[in-house]
């Protein structure tokens, strides 16, 4: 409804800034729908074809959102550049300000409610989306300022506001692309020293190496090699590896699975 109101009144009055902000709101809505759909698919349990689960459906959805944002930026830039080149002045009325103030108020309520629920549920998704919606609040303020400037006789500020909004959308798209690219390229998620500190807190552990982590911020796959004394039984080493694993997963609840390879210490440390 927020996006629709901005787009309808923007095209009706010719306000490039309002149209741009409408597209910005529309991308927020579409990304939420795509995120909810992808989250539902990502919650499916592992199966024979997907032994690591279906979590990357969320990442694929993020990549789709990035492509959509690129198309929106192109459309916003096209409208703003055309207005700057050809000139023209939008029709600014009391309804223009009323629509922007109403949608601004709705977004402020959404941000407050979503952030509150995000803290209550400890949900990174809700907190991130609240921050994303807050950017819509800032762009709406820019639109209000541009509409006021147009009504005072400065129509050039309308397409300039459109360019500023395009920059906001581009920034959001690049962040999405960076995060999605990191997951798809198996970028490190947890710092190696943080993992080592937890592992070495188990008294029987002599050391660890080859620490690797990948996945998303809320669902991480971890594997590492842990050294135990060579003379202990396989049964005892296996038991201790589960102690290490349980401690890691308690310390980092975002770990979905951890694989621990049991090893004796390397020869140069054989005195242990």
Q: Do 172 and 242 sit in the same domain of this protein?
A: no
Asked if 254 and 218 count as a contact pair (C-beta separation under 8 A), the reply is yes
Same domain? 110 vs 55: yes
Neighbours of 142 (CB within 10 A): 19
3-class DSSP state for residue 210? strand
Question: Is residue 55 located within the same domain as residue 111?
Answer: yes
Q: For residues 165 and 47, what is the distance between their CA atoms, to the nearest angstrom?
A: 43
Q: Give the pLDDT of residue 270.
A: 45
Give mean pLDDT, residues 98-124: 85
219 sits in the region (left: phi over 0; alpha: psi -120 to 50; else beta) called beta
**pLDDT tens digits for range 36-89:** 777 777 778 888 888 888 777 777 777 777 887 788 788 788 878 887 887 777
Question: 55 and 135 share a domain?
Answer: yes
Q: Are 182 and 36 in contact (CB under 8 A)?
A: no
Sequence length of the chain is: 272
What Cα–Cα distance (Å) separates residue 263 from each residue in 196, 201, 237, 260? Answer: 15, 17, 9, 10
Tell me the residue ranges of DSSP E strands in the chain: 207-216, 219-227, 255-263
Q: Using pLDDT thresholds of 50, 70 and 90, give the confidence band for residue 125.
A: low
**How confident is the model at residue 268, as a pLDDT?**
67
At 139, which CATH number? 1.20.1510.10
Other Cβ atoms less than 10 A from the Cβ of 196: the count is 16
Whether residues 204 and 73 share a domain: the answer is no
Using CA atoms, how far apart are residues 136 and 201, in angstroms rounded to an integer? 46
pLDDT digits (tens, 9 = 90+) for 154-185: 888 888 888 888 888 788 778 878 887 888 88
Q: Which of 127, 159, 184 is the last residue of a domain?
A: 184
Residue 222 is part of which domain span?
192-269
Contacts of 9 (CB under 8 A, 6+ apart): 15, 18, 95, 96, 99
**Within this chain, do residues 135 and 216 fall inside the same structural domain, yes or no?**
no
Distance of CA 42 to the CA centre of its chain: 15
Q: What is the pLDDT of residue 222?
A: 95
Q: Are residues 12 and 132 in the same domain?
A: yes
Q: In terms of domains, do 49 and 77 share one?
A: yes
Domain ends where: 142, 157, 184? 184
What is the pTM for the complete model shown? 0.67
The total of structural domains in the chain comes to 2
Domain boundary among 134, 156, 184: 184
Do 94 and 20 lie in a common domain?
yes
Q: Pick from 133, 134, 130: which is nearest to 118 by CA? A: 130
Same-domain status, 138 and 66: yes
**Measured distance CA(3)–CA(18) in Å, rounded:** 10
pLDDT at residue 20, as a whole number: 82
CA of 57: how far to CAs of 31, 34, 64, 68, 223, in Å?
14, 10, 11, 17, 22
DSSP per position, 122-158: T-HHHHHHHHHHHHHHHHHHHHHHHHHHHHTT-TTHH
Is it the case that residue 91 has pLDDT exceeding 50?
yes
State the CATH number of the domain containing residue 219: 3.30.70.1350
* pLDDT digit string, tens, across residues 216-266: 877 889 999 999 998 999 999 999 999 999 999 999 998 989 999 999 988
Going by pLDDT thresholds of 50, 70 and 90, the confidence category of residue 272 is very low
């Amino acid at each position: 409804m927020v996006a629709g109101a901005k787009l309808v009144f923007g095209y009706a009055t010719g306000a490039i800034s309002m149209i741009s902000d409408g597209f910005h709101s529309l991308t927020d809505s579409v990304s939420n729908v795509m995120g909810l759909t992808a989250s539902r698919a990502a919650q499916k349990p592992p199966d024979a074809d997907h032994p690591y689960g279906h979590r990357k459906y969320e990442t694929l959805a993020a990549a789709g959102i990035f492509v959509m944002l690129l198309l929106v930026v192109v459309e916003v830039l096209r409208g703003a550049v055309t207005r700057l080149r050809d000139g023209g002045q939008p029709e600014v009325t009391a309804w223009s300000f009323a629509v922007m103030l109403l949608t601004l108020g709705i977004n402020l309520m959404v941000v407050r409610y979503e952030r509150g629920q995000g803290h209550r549920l400890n949900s990174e998704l809700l907190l991130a989306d609240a921050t994303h919606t807050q950017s819509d609040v800032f762009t709406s303020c820019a639109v209000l300022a541009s509409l006021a400037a147009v009504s005072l006789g400065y129509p050039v500020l309308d397409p300039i506001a459109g360019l500023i909004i395009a920059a906001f959308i581009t920034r959001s798209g690049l962040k999405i692309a960076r995060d999605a690219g990191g997951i798809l390229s198996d970028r490190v998620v947890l710092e190696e020293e943080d993992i080592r500190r937890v592992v070495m807190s188990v008294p029987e552990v002599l050391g660890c190496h080859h620490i690797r982590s990948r996945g998303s911020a809320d669902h991480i796959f971890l594997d590492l090699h842990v050294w135990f004394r060579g003379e202990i039984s396989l049964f005892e080493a296996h038991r201790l590896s589960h102690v290490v694993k349980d401690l890691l997963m308690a310390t980092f609840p975002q770990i979905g699975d951890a694989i621990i390879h049991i090893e004796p210490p390397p020869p140069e440390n054989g005195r242990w």
